[in-house]
Amino acid sequence: MPDRIQLVSLAWLERHASRPTGDPVVFTGDELTDLATRFRVGADSSSDGYCRGDWRVAQLLTTTAHPDAFPAIWSTDAEGGERYRCRDHGCDCGWTYTYVPGEPMAVPAAVREST
């Protein structure tokens, strides 16, 4: 079975983060490798890849206006058509993400902690 990645998390980072130069983020191959390890469903949080991915996320989040809206944690799998809406989590940028059937859905860390 192929790895299941929280693509919504990667898409959110690309939409919201910027480089120190102010340029939008387009992930490099190395970043994508680390982030894919970090956001694999069932990832081993003690692995090197996970730690590197976590470090990259922390860096990227320092450049975002609403880091609390970042969909960080896997919640459940989509039936298809569900949406992640930034505005539901305090970011009014208008960004939404539509899940395909079977895709891992994610919620912000604060949401997971409060439920």
From 40-48, 54-62, 93-101, 102-110, give the range in contact with Zn ion by CB under 5 A: 93-101
Candidates 5, 78, 91, 106; binder of Zn ion (CB under 5 A) is: 91
Which of the stretches 31-39, 45-53, 55-63, 87-95 binds Zn ion when contact is defined by CB under 5 A? 87-95
Backbone conformation region of residue 19, classed left if phi is above 0, alpha if psi is from -120 to 50, else beta = beta
**Residue span binding Zn ion (CB under 5 A) among the ranges 27-35, 36-44, 46-54, 92-100:** 92-100
Q: Which of 18, 93, 102, 112 binds Zn ion (CB under 5 A)?
A: 93
Residue of 35, 43, 57, 86 that binds Zn ion (CB under 5 A)? 86
Q: State the residues that interact with Zn ion by CB under 5 A.
A: 86, 91, 93, 95
